[in-house]
Amino acid sequence: LKKRLQALEKKAKIQHPAVKFLPEGKRKRILVTGGAGFVGSHLVDKLMIQGHEVIVVDNFFTGRKRNVEHWLTHENFELIHHDVVEPLYIEVDQIYHLACPASPPHYMFNPIKTIKTSSIGTLNMLGLAKRVDGRLLLASTSEIYGDPEEHPQNENYWGHVNPIGPRACYDEGKRVAETMCYAYKKQEGVDVRVARIFNTYGPRMHMEDGRVVSNFILQALQNLDITIYGDGKQTRSFQYVDDLVDGLIGLMNSDITSPVNVGNPDEHTIEEFATIIKDMVGPTSSKIVHHPATEDDPQRRKPDIEKAFKGFGWRPKMPLKEGLTKTIEYFRAELAQEENNSPN
């Protein structure tokens, strides 16, 4: 065990030689719920490198210890196995509240649990923020706009959500989470920030996540059919995870208390994504095929991001092809590792 810990410490130092030292007054105690997940773990990396004390709370439903493993022995880091549906009593300055399954197959797997996580989980984190007089940032979503009738989506748009459809557990869960943030702000003076996150991709996306970027890359890498749901004319705008992390930290430390879109306005049809990814993965015998459309699938999605730019000077920087290259490399390595670990 000692050897393993030493190896991890070494790994953390090699991977992150530049953890800054922040003096007591500047160093914050930051809770990241869902910090072992895809977005959360990248956020943790950045906050750790900035020199803060970071506490991750995760129930490992879709997250993995491996995503934060390199910090386990660092004195500024703490990992707590906990479900946010249960109350949590700790002392912190800031809370990034990300805990919630995010991909449609995951959040539809147990819709009641998804609703509990968004509602009771957010209530608990707001109760915590209130007690410690801390600031809470909610990871909300572009899904609160539903299948939008306005394009691009601006923060003033109220959305178009089917409250009883298959996506409702997630969409309405996040909508009520936003509502709770502003009720706690108004009634209890809790300091809140709300980020409406648009589709995000990058390394550490869950392999069986079912989201379009991970599906298409894995399918192309394994010479499987690339599955377009519906006619492929529906659009999405994808941001790279590092851009999102910068946006979340920028918003948390800004004065903007109303909701802010964080996304990349570079919009493509799903058909275009299939072709781009297939071409980028290189020689593959994968064919692009069409499957039936999913119910209530939003047809167009693109963020208006002027508010984030004016408010805290944030704009996404990563071009799609560069971000996809990094993501493809990640999945290639993951598949190779799986193959090495398989008994045959």
The overall longest dimension of the chain from CA atoms, in Å, is 60
**Integer Cα distance of 246 and 254 in angstroms:** 12
Q: Which does 335 bind (CB under 5 to 8 A by kind): ligand UDP, ligand NAD, none?
A: none
* Residue 139 site contact among ligand UDP, ligand NAD, none (CB < 5 to 8 Å, cut-off depends on kind): ligand NAD
Contact 95, 68 (CB under 8 A): no
| Residue selected from 111, 127, 165, 265 as contacting ligand UDP according to rule CB under 6 A | 127
**Residues 46-105 contacting ligand UDP, CB under 6 A:** 87-89, 103-104
* Residue 199 touching ligand UDP (CB under 6 A): yes
In the DSSP assignment, the letter for residue 75 is T
Assess whether 170 carries a catalytic annotation. Answer: yes
| Per CB under 6 A, 58 contacts ligand NAD | yes
Which of ligand UDP, ligand NAD, none is residue 145 near (CB under 5 to 8 Å by kind)?
none
- Which of these segments, 48-56, 67-75, 120-128, 150-158, binds ligand UDP (CB under 6 A)? 120-128
Query: Minimal distance in Å, beta carbon 239 to ligand NAD?
Result: 8
| Piece of 6-14, 41-49, 225-233, 317-325 that binds ligand UDP (CB under 6 A) | 225-233
Q: Which residues contact 117 (CB under 8 A, 6 or more apart)?
A: 84, 85, 99, 100, 101, 173
Tokens coding 198: 């648009």
DSSP states of 76-138 as a string?
TEEEEE--TTS------SEEEE--S--SHHHHHHSHHHHHHIIIIIHHHHHHHHHHHT-EEEE
Compare residues 9 and 157 and give the one whose CB is closer to ligand NAD: 157
Q: Can residue 294 be called a binding residue for ligand UDP (CB under 6 A)? A: yes
The neighbouring-strand residues paired with 262 are 197
Residue pair 273/220 in contact (Cβ under 8 Å)? The answer is: no
200 binds ligand UDP (CB under 6 A): no
- Judged by CB under 6 A, the residue of 44, 48, 84, 226 near ligand NAD is 84
**250 counts as binding ligand NAD under rule CB under 6 A:** no
Q: Which is nearer to ligand NAD, 286 or 323 (CB)?
A: 323
By CB under 6 A, name the one of 36, 92, 228, 277 that touches ligand UDP.
228
Among the options 170, 184, 201, 240, which is catalytic?
Answer: 170
Q: Kindly indicate which of the ranges 83-91, 122-130, 178-186, 220-228 contains the residues binding ligand NAD, using the contact rule CB under 6 A.
A: 83-91
The answer for residues whose C-beta is within 8 angstroms of residue 90's C-beta and 6 or more apart is 31, 55, 80, 128
- Specify whether the CB–CB gap between 206 and 264 falls below 8 A: no
Binding segment (CB under 6 A) for ligand UDP, from list 4-12, 228-236, 240-248, 335-343: 228-236
| Interface pick for ligand NAD out of 85, 176, 280, 293 (rule CB under 6 A) | 85
Q: Is 273 in the site for ligand NAD (CB under 6 A)?
A: no
Distances (CA, A) of 315 to 43, 44, 306: 17, 20, 9
Three-class DSSP category at 9: helix
Question: DSSP string of 17-58?
Answer: TTPPP--TTT--EEEEETTTSHHHHHHHHHHHHHT-EEEEEE
Residue 333's Cβ-count burial label (10 Å; 0-12, 13-18, 19+) is exposed
**Which residue, judged by CB position, is nearest to ligand UDP in the bound state?**
127
Angle subtended at Cα 296 by Cα 294 and Cα 302, rounded to the nearest 5 degrees = 100
Q: Does 317 bind ligand UDP (CB under 6 A)?
A: no
Tokens of 211: 């989201």
CA separation, residue 66 to residues 8, 39, 69, 152, 209 (Å): 11, 14, 5, 37, 16
Binding residues for ligand NAD, rule: CB under 6 A, are 33-34, 36-40, 58-63, 83-85, 98-102, 117, 121, 139, 141, 197, 199-200, 206
Q: Annotated active-site positions, please?
A: 170
Provide the binding-site residues for ligand UDP, judged by CB under 6 A: 87-89, 103-104, 123-124, 127-128, 130-131, 199, 211-212, 215, 227-229, 234, 236, 270, 294, 297
